[in-house]
Amino acid sequence: MKKLLQVLIPILCVPLLCGVALGSKPETPKDFHVLEITETGDVVIDAGDNIAKPKKSFDIFKTSSSNIEFPIARIIITQTTPTYCIGTIINRIDGSKPKISDISKGMLCRETTKATLKAEKKIYKNQKKALARQYKLTKIKAKSKTYEALDKIVQDTNNINKINTSTTHQTIEKK
């Protein structure tokens, strides 16, 4: 066991120590900006063909006054040139499509990462579960209100407490 640890520790720790010693940082996505919106509803961003390739996707963000970024839309690149590229807005995971009017010139744009997609799928999955729970609760509430209403109708019909329906005589006792 001791020999195994002596072999495994250098193998596992050396890459980590080299990264710390050399000052390597996690790769941060480069920021681009929306240059314009075309007449056909496509989005032009300032990423050249050395960065953006066709079928690559980018997220467009709106920055609030407190520097919080909100994702507005996602585009997929259809054409590239050396200085800019053109992308088409695509549907979100939930099937909705962002409005072209929400996008304006100068908005922040970053390449879509796997982590972003994973987080978005997780959020959508949780929203879907919450909607299913809400639907079930609504159905249960509707059923319970129906039963309550039926009980009230049966109890309050003509202010009758008791109906005696024997074969010899019928009596109705009112409240």
Identify the top-confidence range among 48-52, 132-136, 156-160. 132-136
Average pLDDT for residues 126-132, to the nearest whole number?
88
Tally of domains in the chain: 2
pLDDT the model gives residue 13? 53
The answer on 101 and 39 residing in a single domain is yes
Q: Specify if 4 maps to a domain.
A: no
Q: Is residue 131 part of a domain?
A: yes
**22 assigned to some structural domain:** no
Kindly state whether residues 84 and 130 are assigned to the same domain: no
Q: Is residue 80 part of a domain?
A: yes
Residues pairing with 85 in the sheet? 45, 80
Q: Tell me if 173 is assigned to some domain.
A: no
User: Residues of the chain with pLDDT > 90: what percent?
Assistant: 14
Q: Across all residues in the chain, what is the average pLDDT?
A: 76
Q: Is 175 contained in some domain? A: no
Domain membership of residue 38 as a residue range: 32-112
Same domain, 101 and 153: no
Spatial distance between the Cα atoms of 87 and 12, rounded to a whole number of angstroms: 42
CATH of the domain at 95: 2.40.10.410
Q: Is 65 or 107 the better-scoring residue by pLDDT?
A: 107
**Does 37 share its domain with 108?**
yes
Residue 135 included in any domain? yes
Residue 21 lies in a domain: no
Cβ burial 74-96 (10 Å sphere, 16+ → b, else e): bbebeebeeebbbbebeeeeeee
Q: Both 132 and 81 in a single domain?
A: no
Q: Global pTM?
A: 0.58
Residue 4 — very low, low, confident or very high, per pLDDT cuts 50/70/90? very low
Query: What burial class does residue 175 get, using C-beta atoms within 10 Å of its C-beta: 0-12 exposed, 13-18 middle, 19+ buried?
Result: exposed
